[in-house]
Structure 1
Amino acid sequence: MIDRPRGFAIAILLLGAAMPLAAQQAPALAPTPAAAATSAADASEARARALAIVAEMTLDEKLLLVHGLFPPKTKADPHGELIQSAGHVPPIPRLGIPIVRESDASLGVANQIEQRKGDTATALPSGLATAATFDPEIARAGGAMIGAEARAKRFNVLLAGGVNLTRDPWNGRNFEYLGEDPLLAGRMAGAAIAGVQSNRIVSTVKHFALNAQETGRMVLDARIDEAALRESDLLAFEIAIETGRPGSVMCAYNKVNGDWACENPHLLTDVLRKDWGYEGWVMSDWGGVHSTVKAANAGLDQQSGQELDHAMYFGAPLAQAVASGKVPMARLDDMVARILTGLIANGVLDALMPEAAQPIDYDAHADVAQRDAEAGIVLLRNEGGVLPLAATAKRIVLIGGHADVGVLSGGGSSQVRSVGGAPVEIPLTEGAAASFARVTWHASSPLKAIRAMAPEAEVTYVDGTDPVAAAKAAAGADVAIVFATQWTTEAEDADSLSLPHDQDALIAAVAKANRDTVVVLETGGPVLMPWLDKVPAVIEAWYPGQRGGEAIANILFGAVNPSGHLPITFPAAASQAPRPMPVGRDVLAGAAEAAANADAGSAVSPVSFKVDYIEGSDVGYRWYEKTRRTPAFPFGYGLSYSDFAYRNLKVTGGATLTVSVDVTNTGAKAGADVPQLYVGHGDTPMRLAGFRRVTLGPGETQRVVFVAEPRVVADYDVALPGWRIAGGAYRVAVSHDAADRSLSAIATLTPRIMRP
């Protein structure tokens, strides 16, 4: 594992960025979906204004903008300009360029180890919870809320917009991201970015690209072929940039096919600038820069958190490189113009920041977080109709998970110090995350919320540390609810997909003592469930955020009908995944041992290793279909207290695949459903090509129309280069989840090619 310097606990404030999509240069190929023409015109106007400012700048002023610092801890700040956070870039007042203040913000305005004493913010549920809503409007509302709080706290760049696909179920940052499918992740990330930027501040999109595991993230070389990368991780970024038009893109720590992501000319210039027409700026992840000349010429525009790099590459060394011609002055001008374009296009140069922190309606913002959590909680199992809990239950026991005081949150740069405080906060004493992460609960008590839902019942809590005592308490209750937790964090991958601290044994003991046992999972991703057939009801609550306790209670008692659907496959065994454990642990352990045994002052060669992504573009549910493996729960899966039927499928082919279907709520309770469109060609696994969240009353029917995303239907052809839809027959299914093929048809499509 790569440890972070203890003096730079904030160092983790690494996240992503991106900018408004410019007019895309179209070769003699049909265009892919792009931003509206007015958006391209706005970006062009911002670029022209940026170039006019660059023409007035001195060399020193240009260099000032292309590297960012951690705000120094100093008392010599009479105007309160410096805020302890992820970073800042000094202002240039004579040109109207304001100070740039950056904050981590994937799940809320972060303040991980309370570098800003007493500053709290609203905590959204984890990214996987938001993705489980399958609702871009919910993602946008969350982004808008975070952006509003950031602006009130005087930040104008948020390191949000995480869109890295889940390739491995044990990845420590899975909880921050939006699942395994490029269409779902791209649309949800784009919506969240647009919400953030509606506050006239910049959001990034991150981490570009293939930052898929935390083990060795600073040194690993991610290997994948071009077509597979375009059809998976890059497609998620492309869709997010089109829909959200982020002001900045943040490049990743790792290498991609041999080059560091932050000095990778193929990613930063060929793909991002030339193919996608992106006009914003590329900032590095904190500690992700390795050179001056190569990085600048490859397309990196800004060195972030320079204290974490081996050198200040974009300071004096960049000035020398420009003077010698190794980096053309035109390239430096472009770097600065791209930074200014991102700021101008999102109103940062024109929307003056408040001189002091502004009041925030935290109650209203908590409502946003609660709605997100309620829509993203997934009902995985409900045998015998155990849920919703009957109002007649008189004795309810809650077991484990600190459910008496709060709900768990994930660790790392996305950690939010939420309103209400942290009832449980456990410092780490070892590991790569120890300098900047703590195991933390948000102050939203499920016990308190359940007591409010069942005021006539006797609701008690036992901590679950003693399975025998827990089983005894469960035996005397009408219902036993076990809160099982798995804490994950940035900088470390999960050691196992099993629940830690013998919680599997606890659940088994409780289930044996009480047949009406409900398990509530608060996890960073999939976990194994050896007790599944012994437990009648299971819900996946993820890390449910600021109002997680209330959201869980509402789901349990039916005040809210569950409607979340899995954005990630839950394997039945670790061996089902492409990689059963993190790659490179043995390499890093050997390097650590060599360093420990080295003579004082002697050099130890830097360690690196390759991660071969053998699944290619068949990420997640596609891998399971390709290898004919049956997971515990497939992508897209989710139960409800209602039932939904799909009927009257109609498919129209030709140049565009259009599919329509009647969705009917056949149950007795109003609820929401997510019909999903899957498309396949030949023997390739089927791919999610459309989805729609619909809310229906009992007996109500709605006609849902899908227009399939053409890049999902297509394959990437490196010989064009571009996207190719082969003519002929395509398999089409409207499904409840990725394994459902009960309503299917064949569509005939005409050949089509699209630019990259």
Structure 2
Amino acid sequence: MHPHDQIPVEARARLLAGRDMWSLPAVPELGFDGLVMSDGPIGVRGTRWSAADPSIALPSPTALAATWDTALVRRAGGLLAAEARRKGVRVLLAPTVNLHRSPLGGRHFECFSEDPLLTGELAAGFVQGVQSGGVAVTVKHFVANDFETERMTADVVVSERALRELYLLPFEIVVRKASPYGIMTAYNGVNGTTMSEHGELVNGVLRGEWGFDGFVVSDWFGARDTVRAALGGLDVAMPGPDTVYGPALAEAVRAGEVPEEVLDEHVQRVLELARRTSVDADLPEVDGQALAREIAARSFTLLRNEGVLPLEGSPRVALIGGLAKEARVMGGGSAQVFPSHVVSPLEGLRSAGLDVVYARGADPSTRLNPASFPLLTTAYAEDGTVLGEFPQPDGSLQWVGQMPEGVDHTVLGSVAMRGAFTPDESGDHLIAIEGVGAFRLAVGGDVLFDGTIAPESDDPFAAFFFAPQKVFSVPLQEGVEVEIELVHRIARGEMPVPFVGFALVHRDPTADPDTLLAEAEPAAAASDLAVVVVGTSKEVESEGFDRTSLRLPGRQDELVRRVAAANPRTIVVVNAGSPVEMPWRHDAAAVLLTWFPGQEAGHALADVLTGRAEPGGRLPTTWPAVLEDCPVTDVTPVDGTMRYDEGVFIGYRAWQRSGAVPAYEFGSGLGYTTWTYEKAVHEEGVLHVTLRNTGPRPGREVVQTYLAPASPDETRPSRWLAAFAVAEAAPGESVTVTLPLPERAFCVWQDGAWVPAPGDHVLHTGHSLTDTPLTTRLDRS
């Protein structure tokens, strides 16, 4: 008899269904007290989608990956565990280990790399760090969710070999090295079966072959069928309360459609999750701001430097770009958190004592940002009764799945946001409503709008994250306080969870785009050097949709060209989570990628520009010159099917096969010193690499070794990453690093098994994919 047999089926099934957006219900009959989950991966948002509950915001996963440093990523995981514990969260919905199959993937900033080994090793470090604090992870999205277009319904058709050698491999590495407590299934199907019901991959491969002993949770709203999900290995269906589990699962068990022992296996795994996360780990104190700053600097990737960096003396710096003042530090979608403060490049450079003059130049987006002054939000019942009042740190309100204390969504009639704004400058200020539905906006007692705003898309995700903005121009006087009120009348819609989301949006008086561009040139010309910050907007890189172009949005390319022409000592800072085209890259004195750098963006930028820190990043994905050169670009399903016809040739594997030359290759990046690779010795499956710092400064180098068939083999990539390590040395110092070579690196998936590839192999070791001065021949006969 199973120990739970005496517990009613209804209670056991209830354990497996979300109670609300973020939690599982308490089930006293099973001794289960409930459990809270939260989005990551750059922070721990908690159950409130609000700046009123701030979180540390680390750099994006692409930035973490650019460090190539598993120990540093493990430290990041430890910080997130402490943040989770602080917020009462026991399951972190991260990391994302899907691959950069095409640079058009809209969510790539949330994934690590185009390479499965680099992805898996870094994710294993992340998981070890989080779970060292007694907090579970859910490694996601299992599997082949490498695009956003039709992600809820598309079926991925992929060969078994590509599935094993590329897309499953990061999950396998994490399971074998880090023993994650959770896995999240993807929305999409694979070869005809929806992943939340994919018994062959979940029960067969994940649990059977790899020995995974944790719980499997659906992506939110990703479980579709009670019986198929239960039999396919899905333990938990999120969110609640309306899911395919709970009462529906109890009924299926009583009807004999789901064996009771299957139900109990799911229950046991959730109870084991509760046990694993119930221990209060002795977490060391971590300075979250300091760690976010360190990771950011270590991730910054210097791609070009014509002797201008690090800065010397006390130069006058023209800092240019809308993103220099309003930093974009994270990607859009469920990865969003709310830091208590974001350090912009402007703030960071000035706080470092640099002589800075600022010019806006150009913006990446015409959308306005939420008002930055404090507001008070009041929730009213339909009869006008006040349900609660809540301080609002900025103009963005998002109540998702869980209403604030005292607010019953079933009787909620309206929400009002009010505040007093004192302008810093006179002129025409832009004030806007961002949202869908009925609104009333008044400024200084004058009603500017009283009506309904219709959605611009039928996609509910787009309506949430990219609601339309209704903009009004309002003349205001410097120093004269004005009252602003925005009221949203609640409609009873068909949202699957309680939801209220809108924003009061504001922008100070701004010149027209032509004037802004023209103002940047004399500012650059009158300075010793120019730093131009350009990047993507949240309409470009976000969960929920793919990219259509790699071009920088707006007139930012024109801005760079004009500034570089005005001052040859122009440093371009690229603030983007994944590749963009840089047609001006040869015109700039330096090009520095900062990814989405987290809340300490400006301080980290100052550290790197001044030489206080070395830019430690190396590219975790190939950076193309133009989209048309990319060997794999397709992210759009046809008739509901997404075909991975390129097989194992994605990323640098595909670039090398196509012969196209990217702007910057996989693994590349410059530091502030130079290195000489002296020797590589292979002994019993381990490569010992000796290198010397031949430059004037202490430095860090990412040592990379790539495996290649000694004789060309058209069925295999020409070379692939086999191992990597980080080396540190003082000027003139020699250091030796050891790189264990996994046996799997020599194998191919063939006829349902891993088979050692025939023939000899060669190891190419050095700075990046093809900058490999050391060659080591391996005789495996």
Task: State the alpha-carbon separation in 1 of the partners of residues 15 and 153 from structure 2.
Answer: 27
1:697 aligns with 2:730: yes
1:316 maps to what in 2?
247
Residues 604-623 of structure 1 aligned to structure 2 (within 5 Å):
608-623=639-654
Residues 256-405 of structure 1 aligned to structure 2 (within 5 Å):
256-306=190-240, 312-344=243-275, 346-348=276-278, 350-351=279-280, 364-383=287-306, 385-393=307-315, 395-405=316-326
Contact 2:319 2:530 in 1 (8 A): yes
Contact 1:447 1:461 in 2 (8 A): no
Match for residue 211 of structure 1 among 133, 141, 145: 145
Contact 2:763 2:776 in 1 (8 A): yes
Task: State the alpha-carbon separation in 2 of the partners of residues 615 and 738 from structure 1.
Answer: 21
1:711 aligns with 2:744: yes
Displacement of 1:105: 1.5
- Equivalenced residue count is 621
Contact 1:407 1:446 in 2 (8 A): no
Contact 2:361 2:519 in 1 (8 A): no
Cα 1:698–1:57 change in 2 (3 A) is farther
Once structures 1 and 2 are overlaid, which stretch shifts more, 103-112 or 466-475? 103-112
Displacement of 1:405: 4.7
1:509 aligns with 2:559: no
Amino acid at match of 2:308: V
1:87 aligns with 2:14: no
2:476 maps to what in 1?
none
Superposed CA deviations along residues 305-350 of structure 1, whole A, max 9, x for unmatched, are: 146xxx6311232222212222111111111112222332x232x5
Q: CA RMSD in A?
A: 2.1
Displacement of 1:220: 1.2
Cα 1:54–1:107 change in 2 (3 A) is farther
Superposed CA deviations along residues 635-689 of structure 1, whole A, max 9, x for unmatched, are: 111101101111122234xxx5332221111100001000101102242321111
Contact 1:279 1:341 in 2 (8 A): no
Task: State the alpha-carbon separation in 2 of the partners of residues 115 and 741 from structure 1.
Answer: 47
Match for residue 774 of structure 2 among 735, 743, 748: 743
Q: Residue 662 of structure 1: SS of its match in structure 2? A: strand
1:460 aligns with 2:358: yes
1:730 aligns with 2:730: no
Task: State the alpha-carbon separation in 2 of the partners of residues 739 and 88 from structure 1.
Answer: 48
1:670 aligns with 2:670: no
TM-score (norm: length of structure 2): 0.77
Contact 1:202 1:343 in 2 (8 A): no
1:66 aligns with 2:16: yes
Task: State the alpha-carbon separation in 1 of the partners of residues 613 and 54 from structure 2.
Answer: 28
2:348 maps to what in 1?
449
Displacement of 1:136: 0.8
Q: Residue 253 of structure 2: SS of its match in structure 1? A: helix
Task: State the alpha-carbon separation in 1 of the partners of residues 356 and 701 from structure 2.
Answer: 34
Contact 2:93 2:138 in 1 (8 A): yes
Contact 1:407 1:444 in 2 (8 A): no
Displacement of 1:727: 4.2
Displacement of 1:478: 0.8
Cα 1:267–1:642 change in 2 (3 A) is same
2:395 maps to what in 1?
none
1:183 aligns with 2:117: yes
Contact 2:679 2:691 in 1 (8 A): no
2:509 maps to what in 1?
none
Cα 1:338–1:458 change in 2 (3 A) is closer
> Which consecutive unaligned segments of at least 5 residues does structure 2 have?
363-512
Task: State the alpha-carbon separation in 1 of the partners of residues 632 and 654 from structure 2.
Answer: 11
Identical aligned pairs, as a percentage? Answer: 37
1:417 maps to what in 2?
338
Q: Which has the higher helix share?
A: 1
Task: State the alpha-carbon separation in 2 of the partners of residues 561 and 115 from structure 1.
Answer: 35
Contact 2:632 2:654 in 1 (8 A): no
Superposed CA deviations along residues 241-289 of structure 1, whole A, max 9, x for unmatched, are: 2222111110000111111111112211111111111111111000111
Q: Residue 675 of structure 1: SS of its match in structure 2? A: strand
Q: Residue 334 of structure 2: SS of its match in structure 1? A: coil
Displacement of 1:739: 2.2
Amino acid at match of 2:12: K
Once structures 1 and 2 are overlaid, which stretch shifts more, 287-296 or 613-622? 613-622
Displacement of 1:361: 7.2
Task: State the alpha-carbon separation in 2 of the partners of residues 53 and 575 from structure 1.
Answer: 60
1:482 maps to what in 2?
532
Amino acid at match of 1:334: E
Amino acid at match of 1:342: L
Residues 116-195 of structure 1 aligned to structure 2 (within 5 Å):
116=50, 118-195=52-129
Task: State the alpha-carbon separation in 2 of the partners of residues 52 and 554 from structure 1.
Answer: 60
Task: State the alpha-carbon separation in 2 of the partners of residues 178 and 637 from structure 1.
Answer: 16
Task: State the alpha-carbon separation in 2 of the partners of residues 194 and 704 from structure 1.
Answer: 22
Task: State the alpha-carbon separation in 2 of the partners of residues 181 and 54 from structure 1.
Answer: 44
The structure whose Rg is larger is 2
Q: Which has the higher strand share?
A: 2
1:46 maps to what in 2?
none
Displacement of 1:58: 2.6
Task: State the alpha-carbon separation in 1 of the partners of residues 357 and 313 from structure 2.
Answer: 12
